[in-house]
Amino acid sequence: MINFQSYFSSSAGNLYTCSDGDTKIIIDLGVTFKSAQKTLSFRMSEYTAAFASHRHLDHCRGIPEAIKKGMDCYVLPETADHLKISGRRVKIIKPSKQIKIGSLKILPFPLEHDVPNVGLLIESRRGGKLVYINDTNYCRYKFRGLNVIAVGCNYAADILMASSLPSAHKKRVMRSHFSLENVKEFLKANDLSRCREIHLLHLSAGNSDAGRFKREIEQLTGVPVKVCDE
């Protein structure tokens, strides 16, 4: 069985883990390495690798220190350039080229954001399939046999439009993040027949409603929903 866990999920920093019982990885090490150490009970050696989906610091802040500590870190070329990192621990992600780490097969795929960004399709040889999608306004891909879906659900259109944010900021949010409405369309387009849980990630502090998002997605899918909004 494949498992996903959220520890931090906001514009202040992200931190997620994926494990199938044999192999553990970190996804979007966007808090300091010290904070990740404390959060993960100082058991960082149990994690084989860390990933950063893109170069925004709330998704890659801890990567340079993780490299110094001897952890393999998978990043896009633009992220490596932005963080000024290099060396044998820096593993460059090539979208659509599968990565094998222990018992996990990981397929990065491109997403639409304001910088280069990837989602991750993760499959365990022990059984189980997970998709991770964050910080995007669109996903062109469809997936079958998913057991776990972890997807950014940043805002609801009606809440955003009623907010006092400048119009330019509203447009930037809409161009670069999934709304509740986007998430619904994505879920309707995909095979949920084996899905056992949906994680909603990266909710905006001012433009979301955790209770509403959970309720509406559960009503739509019939799948238990966990809201990650800390």
Residues 195-218: tens digit of each pLDDT: 999 999 999 888 899 999 999 999
Give the helix ranges, DSSP H, for the chain: 33-39, 57-60, 63-68, 77-83, 157-162, 167-176, 180-189, 210-221
Asked if residue 134 has pLDDT above 70, the reply is yes
- What percentage of the chain reaches a pLDDT higher than 90? 85
Q: Which CATH number among 1.10.3210.10, 3.40.50.300, 3.90.550.10, 3.60.15.10 corresponds to the domain 3-227? A: 3.60.15.10
- Tell me the domain boundaries of the chain: 3-227
Residue that has been written with the tokens 């079958």 in this structure: 144
Residues sharing a CB contact under 8 Å with residue 118, sequence separation 6 or more, in sequence order = 53, 54, 76, 93, 95, 108, 109, 110, 111
Cα gap 86→125, rounded to integer Å: 31
Residue 205 has a pLDDT of 85
Residue 23 has a pLDDT of 98
Q: What is the mean pLDDT of the chain?
A: 94
Check: CB of residue 184 under 8 Å from CB of residue 216: yes
10-14, 29-33, 175-179, range with the lowest pLDDT: 175-179
Q: What is the pLDDT of residues 76-110, one digit of tens each?
A: 999 999 999 999 999 999 999 999 999 999 999 99
Q: Mean pLDDT, to the nearest integer, of 163-189?
A: 88
Overall size of the chain counted in residues: 230
Check: CB of residue 50 under 8 Å from CB of residue 61: no
Q: What is the pLDDT of residues 35-77, one digit of tens each?
A: 999 999 999 999 999 999 999 999 999 999 999 999 999 999 9
Residue 230 has a pLDDT of 63
Residue 148 has a pLDDT of 98
Cα gap 68→181, rounded to integer Å: 41
Check: CB of residue 192 under 8 Å from CB of residue 223: yes
Helix or strand (DSSP H, E) at 6: strand 3-10
